[in-house]
A and B are shown apart, each in its own frame.
Chain A
């Protein structure tokens, strides 16, 4: 168990809908990262938050947004969903945003858009 908790584990929704994925980082970790894993594009970095503030953006669509709350949990919001958004979404956390530390991953949320 990595200590990173993601809910829900599975989500099935229709095209055009909006969903929210939730992540609780490891105790003491200030940095949260969101990744999308799909069969054709591998593991893609979406966005990072550090202590409540956006730190870095990767290949995140404008239809997607995220935030990190004062208790350090994070939510990834996906809107106007398309079939191609079906993927495994991972959250990871690390102690800091920089340095040599590795990140620890949650078990992921499998999103299926039908």
Chain B
């Protein structure tokens, strides 16, 4: 069975510092990988996805993620954190076969950016 792990429940970072939110996955074959952000009392907002190609994927709001096949990781990064980036971040993955209903979500990482 496929799985997604977000090993940190919470990440604290100072404003202006680089941030990393970690994600590892277990998926058969070449994975489709996604990052979403959830602000309080809001739905999940799509940030970026990796399907194939360049291992560094750029997304919304200055976020990027690096796909590392050997480490089965897809860490979310941003060079300079903003207080407004404080939110809950979800990593998700699925195998190429099937559709979006087969996406597995991680448990989420709360990002706190400290002014």
Give chain A's interface residues, CB within 8 Å of chain B. Answer: 2, 4, 6, 31, 33, 42-43, 45, 48, 55-56, 58, 90, 92, 94, 96-108, 110
Contacts and interface: CB of A to CB of B under 8 A. Distances in A.
A31 B99 CA distance: 10
Interface of B: 32, 34, 36, 41-46, 49, 51, 90, 98-103, 105-108
Contact of B43 (A2, A31, A102): A2
A72 to B, nearest CB: 16
Contacts of A56: 99, 101-102
A102 B99 contact: no
Contacts of B99: 31, 48, 55-56, 94, 96-99
Which of B44, B45, B49, B106 has the most CB atoms of chain A within a 10 A radius of its CB? B44
Which of B32, B42, B101 has the most CB atoms of chain A within a 10 A radius of its CB? B101
Contacts, number: 66
Given A43-B90, A100-B51, A106 B43 contact: yes
Contact of B42 (A33, A55, A100, A107): A107
B32 A100 contact: yes
Contacts of A103: 46, 100, 103
A102 B44 contact: no
A19 to B, nearest CB: 19
A2 to B, nearest CB: 6
A105 B45 contact: yes
Nearest 10 Cβ contacts at the A-B interface: A105-B43, A56-B101, A98-B99, A105-B44, A48-B101, A43-B105, A97-B99, A107-B43, A100-B51, A42-B107
Nearest to B98: A98
Contacts of B106: 42
24 contacts: A2-B45, A2-B46, A31-B100, A33-B100, A42-B106, A43-B44, A43-B90, A45-B103, A56-B99, A56-B102, A92-B100, A94-B100, A98-B98, A98-B99, A98-B100, A99-B99, A100-B49, A102-B34, A102-B46, A102-B49, A105-B36, A105-B43, A107-B41, A108-B42
